A and B are shown apart, each in its own frame.
Chain A
Amino acid sequence: MKKVQFNNKFIPYLFVSPQIIIILVFFIWPSVMAIYYSFVMQDAFGVSTQFVWFQNYKDALLNSDYYASFGFTLIFSSLVTLFSLSMGLFLAHKTNNMIKSRGIYRTLLMWPYALAPAVVGLMASFFFNQSHGDIYRFLNQLGWKFDPTSDPFSAQAMLVFIASWKQISVNFIFFLSGLQGIPKSVLEASLIDCKSNSKRFWTIIFPLLAPTTFFLFITNITYSFFDTFGIIDTTTRGTPMGQTKTLAYKIYQDGFLGADIGGSSAQSVILMLFVLVITIFQFKYLEKKVHY
């Protein structure tokens, strides 16, 4: 906050009101409704509603589908985060070490940011397609009986690959700008103190990137939970055998396509709590960063 400020009592409300009003109508109100729906049950025609306490939560949590989805989401998001973070860092480090060609590689590696997850998913669905997909054929020639339409493992591995591919560029951009933000003097000092390239990277450069890494870690988790929706919807759609549904995709299928309002809302609320935990975690850390 500024030391010099305006003291008008009314005008600031005028300035924040557009955003606050939209938030109230399109964020808070639907979320409150989701919480309400998660505690009631409606009959098939939506005529009568009954308050059922935690029945929807019980139904959701005791369902084996939910566990499949939960397990998949955890493994999927960990792997996507791991792969795309490490690839992003690796490529950013290599690019940053280039002198003349840095700009070119930067461009060549950052443009995929512009691709929508749904577009990436659709393109991948052609390459991984049984009838004419080059990657499908290649993987089968290697001896892997790769078949995303019937083998859950194939489908899951494919999704991890596609989702990581899409996310590398974002991590690359942030890591590269993080690396460029490290003062020259620090790098020069480290060159004198430490001869080994890899040791210098892990003991000096990587710790300096910690804030970026942490921020990206959170970003990647949220990406794999929510933004991969477009990828899944244009590739597996949860098949085979419901083994490739993230929690967010399951909410969409159950609630929007399947019209199970109560169950889907209960799942929504569980997911909200999860995001809440992540955000608190993030802020705890950010506070520390400010003190440092």
Chain B
Amino acid sequence: MKNTFSSKLFSHVILILASLMFLLPVWVIVASSTHLPETIVNNGLQFFTGHNFINTYKSILFEHSGYTKNVTAFRMILNSFIMAMGFAIGKVIISSMAAYAIVYFRFKLATFLFWVIFLTLLLPIQVRIVPSFEVLADLNLLNSYTGLIVPLIASATGTFFFRQYFKSVPEELLEAAKMDGANSWNFFIDILMPLSKTMSAALFIVMFIVGWNQYLWPIMMTTDPQYSTILLGIKEIYQSNFEGTYLPEFNRAFAMTTLALIIPVLMVLFFQRLFVKGLVDGDK
């Protein structure tokens, strides 16, 4: 323990370097988005902010040109928001209900249904991509919010999360509620869910981010730009920059990237504790 000071210093240096390794690239993109496109073309990526912030962001959010020819970034953000909200809320409702049935009821198919839910872990979208598209097309759900949201909310993670939590709720709670004459619906709505407020919020935060960051699903499900999420805006940028559809408008590309990442990043920062709870308690 002699070298405490120098080893502490060494640890700080490492942790600061690691933090910069994550911060710098994102910062450079954000800072570059506030410059004129010529500055970036001539002088490369910028470390300090420029003076073109308002112009670039106003045009990308509200005007139709370049990457936003068919749909403005504002609309894409709105779509992402609807998708993330719908996904997170739907997931909390559906999975708390399913977990409630599995933990609090004795019924014949309980184990079987639990395995059916579990099965979803085996079937990531990538392994059923073509038939999923057909199912959605048959049900007329392509280019709709329902098609964007509902198929995604059924996966098992949320159910496991609530199941784990409900199991830790004291037995006496149900005994007492039964003595007071609560039926299963009262118990769920008036007692169990209010008790799970924090857990629901934690799951909601994580799922909002997961929903916002969906990429492959909206690529498949939407052809109408009116339903594009901001992540599809990202795909559009890639397409045009590297396949040369438009002149490279780097400032606008960076602004779009910034808009795509800012909301989930703020969510993590603001709701740090809930977020960690939702992530760590849920997956174990």
A30 to B264, CA, bound (A): 31
| Cα–Cα distance between A118 and B7 once the two chains are bound (Å) | 38
1/0 per residue, CB under 8 A from A, across B107-143: the answer is 1011001001101111110111111111100010000
Smallest CB-CB separation from B124: which chain A residue?
Answer: A226
CB-defined contacts of A27 to chain B, threshold 8 Å:
119-120, 123, 128, 154-155
Question: Contact: A122 with B94, CB < 8 Å?
Answer: no
Closest chain-B Cβ to A130's Cβ sits at a distance in Å of 11
Pick out which of these stretches binds chain A: B17-25, B55-63, B69-77, B194-202: B17-25
Contact check, A261 vs B130: say whether CB atoms are below 8 A apart.
Answer: yes
B151–chain A nearest beta-carbon distance, Å: 4
* Residue of A whose beta carbon sits closest to that of B152: A26
Of B135, B253, B272, which is within 8 A of A25 by CB?
B135
Please give me the residue from chain B that is nearest to A169 by CB atom: B22
CB distance from B45 to the nearest CB of A (A): 6
B213 within 8 A of A: yes
CB of B242 within 8 A of CB of A173, answer no
* Residue pair A15, B127 in contact (C-beta under 8 Å): no
Tier of interface size on chain A:
35 or more
Contact with B along A251-290 (1 / 0, CB 8 A): 1100110000100110011011001100100000000000
Interface string of B164-188 (1 = CB under 8 A from A): 0001000100110010000011011
Complex contact A268–B104 (CB within 8 A): no
Complex interface: chain B residues within 8 A of A28 (CB): 116, 119
Tell me whether B44 is interfacial, beta carbon within 8 Å: yes
- Residues of chain A contacted by B151 (CB below 8 angstroms): 22, 25-26
Cβ-neighbour of B209 out of A31, A114, A173 (below 8 A): A114
With a cutoff of 8 Å between Cβ atoms, the chain B residues found around residue A101 in the complex are: 12, 15
Q: Which residue of B lies closest to A106 (CB)?
A: B272
User: Does chain B have a CB within 8 A of A74?
Assistant: no
Shortest CB distance B271–A (Å): 11
How many angstroms between the C-alpha atoms of A261 and B134 in the bound complex?
12
In the complex, the number of residue pairs spanning A and B with C-beta atoms less than 8 Å apart equals 282
Query: A230 — nearest CB in chain B belongs to which residue?
Result: B215
Q: Does A184 contact B (CB under 8 A)?
A: no
Asked whether A116 lies within 8 Å of B215 as measured between CB atoms, the reply is yes
Q: Is A248 an interface residue (CB 8 A)?
A: yes
Q: Contact check, B283 vs A219: say whether CB atoms are below 8 A apart.
A: yes
Output the residue of B129, B235, B284 with the most chain A CB within 10 A.
B129
Q: How far is the CB of B163 from chain A (nearest CB, A)?
A: 10
In the complex, residue of chain B having the shortest beta-carbon distance to the beta carbon of A114: B264
Question: What CA separation (Å) do A37 and B131 show in the bound complex?
Answer: 9
User: Does B11 make an interface contact (CB < 8 A)?
Assistant: yes
Min CB distance B178 to A, Å, is 7
B-contact 0/1 string along A107-131, CB 8 Å cutoff? 1111111111111001111110000
Q: Give the complex CA separation of A269 and B130 in angstroms.
A: 12
Residues of chain B touching chain A, judged by Cβ–Cβ distance below 8 Å, are: 7, 11-12, 14-15, 18-19, 21-23, 25-26, 28-29, 40-41, 44-45, 93-95, 97-98, 100-107, 109-110, 113, 116-117, 119-124, 126-135, 139, 150-151, 153-155, 159, 167, 171, 174-175, 178, 184-185, 187-188, 209, 212-213, 215-216, 220, 231, 234-235, 237-238, 241-242, 250, 253-254, 257, 260-261, 264-265, 267-269, 272, 276, 279-280, 283-284
A-B contact pairs, 12 of them (CB 8 A): A13-B101, A14-B101, A16-B97, A23-B119, A91-B15, A105-B19, A113-B209, A115-B261, A122-B234, A123-B29, A229-B216, A264-B130
